[in-house]
Copies of this chain bind each other. A is one copy, B any other.
Amino acid sequence: MAEEPATKKQKTEDYVLYYWPGLPGRGEFVRLAFEYSGVPYTENLNPATLIPTLTTPSKSSHPPHFAPPALKLPSGRFISQTGAILNHVAPKLGLAGEKGNKVGKTTGAEWEEAEEERSAINQLVLTCMDLTLEIHDTHHPVAIDKYYEDQLSQAKDRTASFRSLRLPKFFAHFQNVLATNTEKHKNGGTYLIGSTTTTADLALFQVCSTITPSTFARLIKGFVEQVVDGLLFAFPKRVAALKATGDYDNVFELYERVKNEKGIKEYIASGRRQKYANGIWRHYEELDGDE
């Protein structure tokens, strides 16, 4: 598929996610947006053709791509970089906020207002992506081309700093965003922006999923057993300790809310959500701890 020059912008009518098979990875942020919104998408997870396709403009449009995930748009154009993909599709999927969803339908002052809400969401998504990279680097602080086992002592050093300094800083930030959102409970939920689900909520949910421990999962009433059993979590002890402080309650509320939303709930229950493997998010007992 997609062998035709994508620059011709053929109407293929659907979205196709190009990613690695066998792990959720950064592709999962894109999947959640489609699963939540109910807009159809398909996946191309062929590891043999993935990189050749994404680095060849005749196969995946110009500009070529640094790394997956990439999303083929209905026009035939491909967009990569998770944050760029989510910012692009958010208004099309109704995930750019009440005002932000209006971009493309308005011009002038109303467009300005819509763009500002959309950019605020983009800002929060990019912070989730920064956190994702920091989580990755806890187990690969030295070189991505070397085994975890060959950088174990450095991983322990980096992870100690991540647990004590960085993770609480990110949690405090998102707690601040939620606590100061005066509209967050208008619809009875917990929202980062306004009172509708956005790509920012889904991205924070995904990050929380991955740093969410089995310990934490047990603390959450009604957490889907299938997920608890199926996932490897990265920092069970540290996240449980942070939750126990009560300082980040809104973050955990959002996680709980998104998990039970229409679209996401069905997606988790479907078994289509991939299990954590040797990707960004790994659970190594020796890298976790209470503090």
- A residues contacting B by CB (< 8 A) are 55, 57, 62-66, 73, 75, 77, 79-81, 83-85, 87-88, 103-108, 111-113, 115-116, 119-120, 122-124, 126-127, 130, 133, 137, 141-146, 151, 154, 157-158, 160-161, 165-166, 170, 173, 176-177, 180-182, 192-193
Contact = CB atoms under 8 A, between A and B. Distances in A.
A123 B80 contact: yes
Contact of A141 (B133, B154, B181): B154
A133 to B, nearest CB: 7
Contacts of A145: 161, 165
Contacts of A176: 55, 64
Contacts of A104: 107-108, 111-112, 115
B143 A73 contact: no
How many copies the complex holds: the figure is: 2
A106 B111 CA distance: 10
Contacts of A151: 157
Contacts of A107: 104-107
5 contacts: A63-B123, A75-B112, A81-B127, A84-B87, A104-B107
Contacts of A115: 88, 104
B119 A84 contact: yes
B66 A127 contact: yes
A142 B123 contact: no
Contact of A88 (B66, B119, B137): B119
Nearest to A165: B145
A160 B115 CA distance: 42
A81 B122 contact: yes
A81 to B, nearest CB: 4
Contact of A73 (B63, B116, B133): B116
A63 B177 contact: yes
A192 B137 contact: no
A192 B62 CA distance: 9
A123 B158 contact: no
A169 to B, nearest CB: 8
A12 to B, nearest CB: 14
Contacts of A87: 84, 87, 119, 122
Most buried by B among A66, A111, A115, A145: A66
Contacts of A137: 137
